[in-house]
Every structure is written in C-alpha cells, then in structure tokens.
Amino acid sequence: MKLIILDRDGVINHDSDAFIKSPDEWIPIKGSLEAIARLNQAGYRVVVATNQSGVARGLFDIQTLNAIHQKMHNAAQQVGADIDAVFFCPHSADDNCDCRKPKPGMFHEVAKRFSISLRGGVATVGDSLRDLQAGYVAGCAPYLVLTGKGEKTQAKGGLPPGTLVYPDLSAVVDFILKSPVGVSV
C-alpha cells in the first residue's frame, strides 16, 4: 500500500494564527486538492494528521471540527480527490497527551489503522517543525512545504535529517510521483 500523511492547516488549506474555527474559514491552498487527486490516481491513500487544540481551548467544538472536515472532503471530491481518513488531536499542549504533534501518537494510530509500517517510504508533509518531528520519529520521510508557517520553520532551522523542502504540496507531489521508487529519500 502506498500511503502519505499530510498536515492540514498550512499544507492543504490556508492557516490562521487565530485558528480555523468554522467551515467558512477553511480555504484550500491553490493546487492542494488537485495534488491529492494526483496522488489518488497514482494509487496513494491520503491521510490527514492534524493538531486541533482549538477544541480544548473552547474556540470550536467537535461538531464544528467535523463540519470543517466535511467541507474539506466535499471540496476534495469535487476535484476527484479522496482523503481516506482524518486523525486529529483535540488536546492542548498542557494536556501532555501522546497524540499531539510533535509526539508521534497520531502517526502510530495511522500505522495501526492501515496495518502498515511507516518506515522506509511513507512520506509526511507539514509546514511546522512539530509536524516533521512527529513523522520522523514514527519513521516517515519528512517534507516541509513553504506554505503556511513553512518559511518561518525553514528559517528557524533544526529540521529532521533528510527533510526535503518544496514550495507547496503540489511540488511535493510532483517530486514523489516522479521518483522511481516512490518516496524513499
């Protein structure tokens, strides 16, 4: 099985320092949904792993989060893309859970749900260091996009070894689909 794990805010949709709190605030980054469709056409299963501490902060509830994700699924389907699953952490940093990135708990759940090892070829795409750290610790090949918080993340440095940097999700997908052995770095 070919699998890729994407962060949501700043990778698929525009990010906001004030959080994405409603379906109206969820706006896809140009080309991101079409990139997911290209992955699907190449046989990839696409999974989203996203921190959503706005739930713990009381900025929105689970029903609103589900509505945001439904909008994402609907928008993806309109361009022929399919997101197989969305994993999210609703906790705040103070909760000290295992699922909040940079901890790898969500990635371990993805591996368990899809009965796959993340080592040796599963890519993870994020715009923040915590996205890349969680994926890297779980065995994924890390890709940084410069959308969202990506430029600031790149400027700060300290990226996991082997991190590849691309302007956006579409460019990452172009690279992955042209690689002779998939996503191995």
Give catalytic residue positions: 7, 9
Backbone angles phi, psi at 153, to 5 degrees: -65, -45
Contact (CB, 8 A) for 152 and 130:
no
Contact (CB, 8 A) for 147 and 126:
no
Task: Enter the DSSP assignment of 150.
Answer: H
Backbone angles phi, psi at 157, to 5 degrees: 80, -170
What is the number of helices (H) and of strands (E) in the chain?
A: 6, 6
Of the candidates 70, 101, 98, the residue with the CA atom closest to the CA atom of residue 86: 70
